[in-house]
Amino acid sequence: MTTQAELDDRYGRTARSAVRLWLVLAGVIGLVIVVVIGWFVVQNSRDTVSFDDLGFEVVDSGHVDVRYRVTMPSDDQVVCVLEALDESFAKVGWQVVEIPPSEAISNDHTTTLRTVDTATTGRVVSCFIR
């Protein structure tokens, strides 16, 4: 009579081949996960807008100039929200600025905000694709 061990040897069903199968399967699954994550990262980065505050200048008690750089996809219109704050961090002015599409990826902008009191700072709060 043939034993189970002899049948496993005859047909190549050893513990070593089972381990190899699991390792290959884990490698394929890992590769698929890396590809999917990479695809999501590339898709999300294509539609992002970033901004950098470059500075501000208090013009007078009713105005502050805010300088900023916007990096965006070249074929999209972007909207940025700017604000001016006083010495107690109270909002004394704000404005929504529409930035039209441009050939350049990064553009520097200066916007004058009207304020109800003397501002001590001006900054960009957020930017997003319209």
* Among 62, 41, 38, residue whose Cα is nearest residue 115: 62
Give the count of beta carbons closer than 10 Å to the beta carbon of residue 26.
10
- Residues in the chain predicted with pLDDT less than 50, given as ranges, are none
Give the count of beta carbons closer than 10 Å to the beta carbon of residue 111.
16
- Asked if residues 61 and 80 have their Cβ atoms less than 8 Å apart, the reply is no
**What was the pLDDT predicted at 86?**
93
What is the DSSP track for 87-99?
Answer: TT--EEEEEEEEE
Q: Give the three-class secondary structure for 36.
A: helix
- Asked if residues 64 and 112 have their Cβ atoms less than 8 Å apart, the reply is yes
Size of the chain, expressed as the number of residues it contains: 130
**What was the pLDDT predicted at 14?**
67
What backbone torsions phi and psi does residue 72 show, to the nearest 5 degrees? -150, 165
- Asked if residues 77 and 100 have their Cβ atoms less than 8 Å apart, the reply is yes
CATH number (3.40.1410.10, 3.40.630.10, 3.40.50.2000, 2.60.40.1620) of 50-129 reads: 2.60.40.1620
Amino acid at the residue 130: R
* Among 97, 96, 88, 81, residue whose Cα is nearest residue 119: 88
Domain ranges of the chain: 4-46, 50-129
